[in-house]
């Protein structure tokens, strides 16, 4: 079969996206780790995640794809091209937050698979292979840092350190990767490839901008920077009823004061762009009537300006030293600007759908933050209802989910026929 001309392939692929099949695929994947409140809890490389992966692998085989994996258990579902050229990649992640939604990450993987189905239905062959990837542990909630799969794909040397990361039960990433290999013994390892031709990630915005602008499609020009720290405050365990206030060394009192101080200087540093979150706390002994002997809490700081991020690092180090508190850096990434040519290409793909679009930067990080080091990379967004995400009520209008997938199919088909 000779490949269709680029614009014809793009139009055919986009036109053969099936709304029913896409929406059904979102419901089907959400069943793996579904919560009573309609949310999803699917920790990276958990038994639930393995069941979801098996479901995706079976779908990929049914669409005529080959499926491979790598040392970090990334899942590569590839539709062959007519020529032995570097693949065009798309995809995202299927691990979720503990009280996550059914779209964060999953939408990008399923829309990529829908694009393959649409190309098949349209009888379109492409010069380049199209590879849909489910990247491992993007959320970073089970193992820190986030985006482990995509970052280890770009820089395999990271995997040695990542393997030692442990979850709250003491299971290491290395243990979980071994379990993955035992669960999927037949999955071949992806051949070491040169750079991919391009990577496009379709994702829900997870914020309010598109909805407020009443615009159904977003072209993402970059991602703001991120810092994750764990701070450990020490105290002395003592009786809650007998120990006078002046005689206490309460780790929680120190942690609360530290959190307030950090929020104050972070807000002053970054003004309206500051995002600072103290999301995870662990208290020892965590008993109502014992003064805490140790409190560890996390700080998640985001900002679009590299200088502000550096200033935050400096202020946090000063603050921790003054209070004699230990800090551990869990994750750190500078702001990223995506590829201008690919941004323009996505703009054309959105325009071809007739939908209005907005160019914006992403408040959330994504696997694309690392793929941008590997090949020309950019992202597409669709609106999140109420800007809500990392919440069981995460939702996007069906017609927006379909429109985003049509724009993705248009962009991918054209890229797959590029020289």
- The minimum distance between CB 225 and ligand HGY, in angstroms, equals 11
Sign of CA dihedral 78, 84, 88, 92: positive
Tell me how crowded residue 16 is: count the other CB atoms within 10 A of its CB.
Answer: 20
Residue 139 is labelled as binding a ligand: yes
Question: What is the full DSSP assignment across 113-125?
Answer: HHHHHHHHHHT--
In terms of CB distance, is 104 or 114 closer to Mn ion? Answer: 104
Residue 104 is labelled as binding a ligand: yes
Q: Which of 364, 378, 411, 414 binds ligand HGY (CB under 6 A)?
A: 364
CB 40 within 8 A of CB 96: yes
The yes or no reply on residue 149 touching ligand HGY (CB under 6 A) is no
Which two structure tokens, joined as six digits, stand for 399?
């017609």
365 contact choice in Mn ion, ligand HGY, none (CB below 5 to 8 Å, kind-dependent): ligand HGY
Question: What is the full DSSP assignment across 133-187?
Answer: EEES--S-SSSSSS-HHHHHHH-TTHHHHHTT-B-TTS-BHHHHHHHHHHH-TTP
d(CA 43, CA 105) in angstroms, rounded, equals 13
Q: Which of 33, 105, 207, 270 binds Mn ion (CB under 5 A)?
A: 105
Distances (CA, A) of 290 to 188, 241, 245, 322: 53, 9, 13, 26
Q: Which stretch binds ligand HGY (CB under 6 A): 48-56, 138-146, 161-169, 330-338?
A: 138-146
Q: Which of 131, 139, 167, 201 binds ligand HGY (CB under 6 A)?
A: 139
The yes or no reply on residue 138 touching ligand HGY (CB under 6 A) is yes
In terms of CB distance, is 32 or 365 closer to ligand HGY? Answer: 365
Q: Which of 199, 301, 365, 370 binds ligand HGY (CB under 6 A)?
A: 365
146 contact choice in ligand HGY, Mn ion, none (CB below 5 to 8 Å, kind-dependent): ligand HGY
Q: Cα torsion for 218, 220, 221, 224, to the nearest 10°?
A: 130
Q: Which of 39, 112, 145, 146 binds ligand HGY (CB under 6 A)?
A: 146
The yes or no reply on residue 383 touching Mn ion (CB under 5 A) is no
Q: Counting beta carbons within 10 angstroms of the beta carbon of residue 174, is it exposed (0 to 12), middle (13 to 18) or buried (19 or more)?
A: middle
Give me the residues that bind ligand HGY (CB under 6 A), please.
138-139, 146, 364-365
Annotated binding site for Zn(2+): 93, 104, 139, 203, 390
């Amino acid at each position: 079969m000779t490949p269709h001309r680029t614009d014809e392939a793009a139009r055919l692929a986009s036109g053969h996206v099936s709304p029913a099949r896409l929406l059904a695929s979102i419901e089907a994947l959400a069943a793996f780790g579904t919560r009573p409140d309609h949310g999803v809890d699917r920790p990276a490389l958990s038994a639930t995640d393995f069941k979801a992966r098996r479901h995706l692998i079976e779908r990929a085989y049914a669409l005529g794809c080959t499926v491979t994996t790598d040392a970090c258990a990334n899942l590569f579902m590839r539709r062959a091209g007519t020529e032995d050229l570097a693949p065009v990649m798309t995809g995202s992640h299927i691990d979720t937050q503990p009280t996550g939604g059914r779209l964060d990450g999953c939408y990008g993987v399923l829309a990529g698979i829908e694009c393959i189905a649409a190309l098949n239905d349209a009888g379109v062959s492409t010069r380049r292979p199209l590879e849909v990837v489910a990247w491992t542990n993007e959320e970073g909630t089970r193992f820190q840092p986030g985006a482990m799969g995509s970052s280890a794909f770009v820089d395999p040397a990271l995997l040695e350190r990542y393997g030692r990361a442990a979850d709250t039960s003491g299971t290491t990433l290395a243990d979980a990767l071994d379990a993955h290999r035992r669960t999927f013994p037949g999955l071949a390892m992806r051949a070491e490839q040169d750079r991919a031709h391009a990577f496009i990630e379709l994702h829900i915005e997870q914020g309010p901008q598109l909805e407020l602008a009443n615009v159904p499609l977003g072209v993402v020009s970059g991602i703001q920077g991120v810092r994750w720290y764990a701070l450990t405050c020490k105290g002395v365990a003592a009786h809650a009823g007998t120990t006078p206030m002046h005689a206490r060394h309460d780790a929680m009192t120190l942690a609360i004061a530290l959190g307030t101080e950090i929020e104050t200087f972070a807000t002053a540093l970054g003004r309206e762009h500051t995002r600072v979150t103290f999301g995870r706390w662990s208290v020892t002994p965590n008993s109502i009537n014992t003064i805490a002997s140790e409190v560890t809490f996390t700080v998640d700081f985001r900002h679009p300006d590299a200088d502000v991020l550096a200033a935050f690092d400096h202020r946090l180090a000063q603050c921790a030293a003054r209070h004699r508190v230990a800090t551990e850096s869990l994750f750190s990434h500078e702001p990223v600007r995506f590829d201008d040519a690919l941004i323009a290409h996505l703009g054309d793909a959105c325009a071809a759908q007739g939908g209005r679009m907005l160019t914006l930067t992403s408040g959330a990080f994504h696997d694309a933050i690392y793929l941008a080091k590997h090949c020309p990379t950019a992202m597409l967004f669709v609106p999140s209802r109420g800007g809500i995400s990392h919440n069981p009520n995460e939702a996007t209008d069906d017609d927006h989910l379909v429109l985003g997938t049509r724009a993705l199919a248009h962009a991918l088909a054209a890229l797959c026929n590029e020289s």
